[in-house]
Structure 1
Amino acid sequence: MEAPCSFSPPVALIPAYKPEPAVLDIARALLASEEISDVVVVNDGSGAEYDTLFQELADMGATVLRHYTNLGKGMALRTGLNHIACAFPHSVGVVTLDADGQHLAKDVLAVAARLLKIPRALIMGCRRFGVNTPLRSRVGNNTTRRVMRLLAGLNVSDTQTGLRGIPLFFVPRLLRLRTTGYDFELDMLIQAKKDHVPLVELPIETVYIDGNRSSHFHPLLDSMKIYLVFLRYNLSSLLTAGVDYAVFMICAMLGLSLASAMALGRVCSWVVNYGINRTFVFKSEKGYWQSLVPYLLFEISMALVSYIAIDSLYRSLAFNVYGAKVLVETSLYLLTFTVQREIVFGPSSRPGTAYDLTEAPALSREKDE
């Protein structure tokens, strides 16, 4: 899918907090290339001692935006994205890169070229993680990759890469994200999946300077922020499971039959679960009835399966009824979560919507050329 002639090359965006001097070299190289329209640098509250470096960037022709105080990488990206969307409305999009010198100019230009070629895809410049990769980067990425595949249904080899080609039409959606730190980049991937924006991976050279010491990614604190993106998927399930179990126990202690106790527990939990999942967890854009009908059909089916399994454990294997319920409901959790995410509350695939990209694959990986 070739870009229309009216598109101008992408703009490079560098969020910078106490950047390394190497940012000067890569900015100079990008400004000299024809594949990049302009370079925008966001000084994310680096402090007065970095004013000279940012002035050098401005003197060489880069646009320098400034945060009065450090607001986080996500906010720096949003500031830059907003400026570029306003100042370069005919650009194909934005190529983001880090300010620590770990992204080579040739890789940035390769991502820019791929974005021009596939202007409605999110291009991911993905690193290769081997034995020479710093431990915190290797472990952090592998863990996040597995969590994202399990909870968000996305199989991305490098979830934390800062080198990305973002199509301009996707920018308004990103500006509405609320995350402000490194978790913004994970939210971007989740939003891309929701909006049917295909991901295209492009292998890039892996560069770590002094064991990646210049990175401002704090493994413990920032990893916790990143996983909070996924935690919201589970809070609703924990709450509704608690409601279900509490009502079930009360009914059982009052002498109601297993079927009656389960039915009352499920009905109470459905009221809570549907509202929270539709509005806050999956943030579904489907109409009320469009999601409620499949939700009820699926949940009724799961309730029948759960009842049969619990009854079998209770009667045939002499399980404690409360323990049997916990075992069965836990076993069905991932299936329930996946069906709700992909089908019940998943994005509508109606032709003609702004983000319906049926001509492109959901995820592809480009091989080295």
Structure 2
Amino acid sequence: MENIVIVIPSLEPDEKLLSLLETIRSRQSVTIPIVIVDDGSGIAFEKYFQIAKDKFDCIVLTHEQNFGKGRALKTAMNYVLKHFEKAKGIVTIDSDGQHRYKDMVFCVDAFNVHKDALIMGVRSFDGKVPFKSKFGNLLTRRIMKVITGIKLTDTQTGLRVIPRFFMEQLVNTSGDRFEYEMSMLLEAKKQQVRIVEVPIKTVYIEENQSSHFHALFDSIAIYAVFIKYLFSSVFSFFIDISIFSLIIYFIGESNFQAITIASYIARSISSLFNYLVNNYIVFKNGSSNSFIKYYGLVIIQTFISSLFVSLVHNVLMDFNPTLVKVVIDLLLFVISFYVQKKWVFHKVVK
């Protein structure tokens, strides 16, 4: 574990933190730096941090109030970047006993092989696992796969090895609480950082009662990370349909020419909004020619939309062309999303 700093974010710890430190120090021949962040635990827990400093030679950084796990990780990364110039990365591990020492070593060993990757110690969630933990992780990884294309076994693991160059990006990544770990994965996609999974044992002590994860508020914060992925398409769709309806109303015709003109004018406005949001907020992965790719897709998609809206409207004369366009464009949306994700805003990982 040469040139690796162990980082432990901690809030209101107990004997499990000291047990973890005892295990690390008893099995390492070289004193590896350990940085613990006291995230506003308060006076009642000072003894644990004092023992960590005096007995186990740990560096303890203290937040005067509770800011959240994400802020604690950023505090530690900032400290490591400033004070450990030779450190190649950090390994983050929770203080509540969920991560075994040997699993931490497995992850560091994987990092020594994949030095430019984000290493994730992933749980299989077999055996006796609290329902909320199992369900929450399953739901999150499914949403992440569908929306971002990132396929992971465990999105919420706290056992990670983060390379130094990636830490320099992560200290500026948004999020202060548990949602920060999700934002880290999205940042990995943005920066084209490969993610390597290392299987670890699933450990839950006392039904995970010592966890400071708030089921309601932290879940909302985590899933809020995904809301922006839906906002762009929904709002641009609303812009497109509204402008199309107004133009058809003022033209007073519903033939192919009128529908095509209305479609292209509406799409030129809504697509500009959609492109800017997708490029800078949603996918955050646009290449230098993504603008050309995107508008090539817009032209093709708009033509197909106009053609099918006209055909359906001519067959079913009683149907309002705007309603027909809503149905057609919803079908095209699914195809367009995957084309954007896989081609327009995609970069080949080196």
Under a length normalisation based on structure 2, what TM-score does the superposition of the two structures give?
A: 0.92
**What's 1:73 paired with?**
69
Alignment of 1:245-260 (within 5 A): 245-254=241-250, 255-256=252-253, 257-260=258-261
Of 19, 27, 30, which aligns to 1:25?
A: 19
**What's 1:269 paired with?**
270
**What's 1:124 paired with?**
120
SS in 2 for 1:189: helix
Task: Work out the CA distance in 2 between the residues paired with 1:321 and 1:226.
Answer: 39
Structure 1 contact 16–99 (Cα < 8 Å) conserved:
yes
Specify every segment of 5 or more residues in structure 1 that has no aligned partner in the other structure, as ranges: 1-6, 350-355, 359-369
**What's 1:51 paired with?**
46
SS in 1 for 2:278: helix
Of 54, 58, 65, which aligns to 1:62?
A: 58
Deviation at 1:9? 3.4
**What's 1:239 paired with?**
235
SS in 2 for 1:332: helix
When Rg is computed on C-alpha atoms for both structures, the one with the higher figure is 2
Task: Work out the CA distance in 2 between the residues paired with 1:123 and 1:201.
Answer: 6
Deviation at 1:281? 2.7
Task: Work out the CA distance in 2 between the residues paired with 1:323 and 1:55.
Answer: 67
Residues 4-34 of structure 1: CA distance to partner in whole angstroms, max 9, x if unpaired?
xxx9331111111112320111122223415
**What's 2:315 paired with?**
316
Task: Work out the CA distance in 1 between the residues paired with 2:13 and 2:312.
Answer: 61
One-letter amino acid of the structure 2 residue matched with residue 291 of structure 1: S
Task: Work out the CA distance in 2 between the residues paired with 1:338 and 1:102.
Answer: 37
SS in 1 for 2:2: coil
Deviation at 1:57? 0.8
Task: Work out the CA distance in 1 between the residues paired with 2:190 and 2:280.
Answer: 14
Structure 2 contact 260–303 (Cα < 8 Å) conserved:
no
Structure 1 contact 31–61 (Cα < 8 Å) conserved:
no
Task: Work out the CA distance in 2 between the residues paired with 1:154 and 1:309.
Answer: 33
One-letter amino acid of the structure 1 residue matched with residue 38 of structure 2: N
Task: Work out the CA distance in 2 between the residues paired with 1:80 and 1:309.
Answer: 56
Deviation at 1:235? 1.3
Deviation at 1:345? 2.9
Structure 1 contact 35–109 (Cα < 8 Å) conserved:
no
Deviation at 1:279? 2.7
**What's 1:332 paired with?**
332
Task: Work out the CA distance in 2 between the residues paired with 1:296 and 1:263.
Answer: 11
Q: Which moved further from structure 2: 151-160 or 326-335? A: 326-335
Task: Work out the CA distance in 1 between the residues paired with 2:211 and 2:308.
Answer: 51
**What's 1:82 paired with?**
78
Structure 1 contact 10–36 (Cα < 8 Å) conserved:
no
Structure 2 contact 248–262 (Cα < 8 Å) conserved:
yes
Query: Are 1:37 and 2:38 counterparts?
Result: no
Deviation at 1:36? 7.3
Task: Work out the CA distance in 1 between the residues paired with 2:31 and 2:230.
Answer: 41
Specify every segment of 5 or more residues in structure 2 that has no aligned partner in the other structure, as ranges: none
One-letter amino acid of the structure 1 residue matched with residue 11 of structure 2: Y
SS in 1 for 2:270: helix
One-letter amino acid of the structure 2 residue matched with residue 224 of structure 1: I
Residues 266-311 of structure 1: CA distance to partner in whole angstroms, max 9, x if unpaired?
1111222222322333334644xx2221111011111122222322
**What's 2:88 paired with?**
92
Alignment of 1:97-116 (within 5 A): 97-116=93-112
Residues 10-69 of structure 1: CA distance to partner in whole angstroms, max 9, x if unpaired?
111111111232011112222341587211110000111111111111112111101111
One-letter amino acid of the structure 2 residue matched with residue 58 of structure 1: K
Structure 1 contact 9–112 (Cα < 8 Å) conserved:
no
Q: 1:314 to 1:305 in 2, by over 3 A?
A: same
Deviation at 1:249? 0.9
**What's 1:303 paired with?**
302
Alignment of 1:130-149 (within 5 A): 130=126, 132-149=128-145
SS in 1 for 2:216: helix
Query: Are 1:188 and 2:184 counterparts?
Result: yes
SS in 2 for 1:46: coil
**What's 1:279 paired with?**
280
Of 185, 200, 207, which aligns to 1:204?
A: 200
Aligned-pair RMSD on alpha carbons? 1.9
Task: Work out the CA distance in 2 between the residues paired with 1:53 and 1:38.
Answer: 18
Task: Work out the CA distance in 2 between the residues paired with 1:173 and 1:36.
Answer: 28
Q: Which moved further from structure 2: 270-279 or 231-240? A: 270-279
Task: Work out the CA distance in 1 between the residues paired with 2:281 and 2:205.
Answer: 40
**What's 1:345 paired with?**
345
Under a length normalisation based on structure 1, what TM-score does the superposition of the two structures give?
A: 0.87
One-letter amino acid of the structure 2 residue matched with residue 27 of structure 1: L
Deviation at 1:182? 1.0
